[in-house]
Every structure is written in structure tokens, then in C-alpha cells.
Structure 1
Amino acid sequence: MTNNLDALLTALYVKIDDEIGGTRWLGRPPQLTDSELV
């Protein structure tokens, strides 16, 4: 069960990182990416 959960979370992280990867920020760069927050 843990392997399936790890695979799901990894796939979700990659999907979010690919979809939201173009976000621009003004000022200091964030310490975490959007996908890391999820």
C-alpha cells in the first residue's frame, strides 16, 4: 500500500510541477514551489 501511495504522490508532484511551472513572482523568489506546497 505504501508503494502505491508513494507513486501517486510522486506522480501528483510531477503533474503539478509541469502544469504550474511557468508562474512568475515579483520580489524575492519563493523558498518552496507551488507543487511542494501541495
Structure 2
Amino acid sequence: MPSALNMDDILSQVKRMDKEDQLTLLEKIALLIRRTKSKMNL
């Protein structure tokens, strides 16, 4: 999977976010996972 950033870069950026922004990001990731799983079950 090509990516401009590696995992360490991403985690470093997330650590610099405030807790509210981290929670928002986590909610968005969870939503994407749920959508992907539901598409795979079709």
C-alpha cells in the first residue's frame, strides 16, 4: 500500500493532536472500518 508517510510519522503527528482531535480521528477511522467491513459482506 503506497503512502507518503510511514507509520512512525503518522503516530508522531497524532500524538501532537489534542485529545478531542484524537477522539474525532478515531471515530472517523472506526466509521471507515465499519463501511469497509459492510462492503466486504455484500
Q: So what's the TM-score if we normalise by structure 1? A: 0.51
Q: Which residue of 1 aligns with 2:26?
A: 6
Question: CA shift at 1:13, angstroms?
Answer: 0.3
Look up the SS of the partner of 2:27 in the other structure. Answer: helix
Higher alpha-carbon Rg:
2
Q: Which residue of 1 aligns with 2:36?
A: 16
CA-based RMSD = 1.0
Greater relative CO (CA pairs within 8 A, separation 6+): 1
Unaligned runs of 5+ in 1: 23-38
Aligned positions, number: 22
Question: CA shift at 1:21, angstroms?
Answer: 1.8
Deviating above 4 A after TM superposition, structure 1's stretches of 4 or more consecutive aligned residues are: none
